[in-house]
Amino acid sequence: MNVIFQSTYYTLYQAANERCFYVDFGQKTVRMSLCQLLALRHKVMSINIEDHFDSDLNAHGFEVLMLCNKEHLFVLNTLEILDLKTLVSNSFVSLGLSVGALETITS
Amino acid sequence: MKDIARQSMSIKVESMDLLNGQIKMEAHASATYLAMASWCEQNGFFTSAKFFFKQAEEEREHMMKIFNFLVDTGANPISPEVTGINHDYSSIVDVFESTLEHEVKVTKSIHNIVKKARELGDFATERFLDWFVMEQIEEENTVRDILDMIEVTGTEGVGLQMIDNQVANWIE
């Protein structure tokens, strides 16, 4: 497996022989197709991090992420979400599918 | 190292995001035209209502065209959430003026995606949008012609009824 990108808490690997990717979340490693990786990107980049600093919009500063058709569930705090955003955006640049300059997803 | 990502997806994720935004915009346009059709029906402009029912269908077709393009390129199309549809109009002139405003907004958005696709070197997205660029010229022209007709006819006396009858000329 080749490392595509490593952030503070997470790592994305490419498994060429299986034609898939693995995301190491620390507690567990999740196997993903590119479609599932795109779905993860959409979910993560749709999170408005500013809500974490407004107790009316996000009282506890946590996000619940369900991945791979609800096969995996993660509860992540503000720092972990920020780190996951870094992982996702940089990974797509490393994969050659993004130039990294335009972040256009809005919730 | 095998390029699995590129083998699975033919366009840039930035283009995908912009096209998903356009999907949402087309869905919003479709819902807006449906609201306009409802207003026209309730206020006795039955031919204009038919025109807007047809426009609503067309906008949905545009949305599906983009949706299917994303499917074909291995991207991740997102089914849009549509909210905030205006149902209040002060007159039939207001309805058509709002339509032109809406079409201009859609045109600007399409042009912006073409510009960004060009910057990204995403030729597939740029070429795909050629059809939309030409379609928007037609859409804007139709509504402009209707507004010109309204100006010539005037809204006094039987003018409003004549306007509604004339709209039939723009229903293909």
User: Could you tell me where the DSSP H helices lie in chain B?
Assistant: 4-8, 13-42, 46-72, 92-120, 123-128, 130-153, 159-166
A107 pLDDT band, cuts 50/70/90, is: very low
Contact B8 A41 (CB under 8 A): no
- CATH architecture entry for B11-78+87-170: Up-down Bundle (1.20)
Q: Model-level pTM?
A: 0.90
For an interface test with B, the pick among A5, A90, A98, A107 (most B C-beta atoms closer than 10 Å) comes out as: A98
Q: Is the pLDDT of residue A106 over 90?
A: no
Please count the other Cβ atoms lying within 10 Å of the Cβ belonging to residue B171: 14
Quote the minimal CA–CA distance from B138 to chain A in Å. Answer: 28
Which residue type is seen at A64? V
Which residue type is seen at B11? I
Contact A14 B1 (CB under 8 A): yes
Q: What is the rounded distance in angstroms from the CA atom of residue A91 to the CA atom of residue A88?
A: 5
Contact B76 A98 (CB under 8 A): no
Contact A34 B5 (CB under 8 A): yes
Determine the pLDDT at residue B172.
74
For the stretch B76-126, pLDDT in tens is 999 999 999 999 999 999 999 999 999 999 999 999 999 999 999 999 999
Stretch 67-126 of chain B: residues touching chain A, C-beta under 8 Å: 74-76, 78, 116, 120
- Residue B13 contacts A, CB cutoff 8 Å: yes
CA atoms within 13 A on the CB side of A91: 28
For the stretch A20-79, pLDDT in tens is 999 999 989 999 999 999 999 999 999 999 998 888 888 888 999 999 989 999 999 999
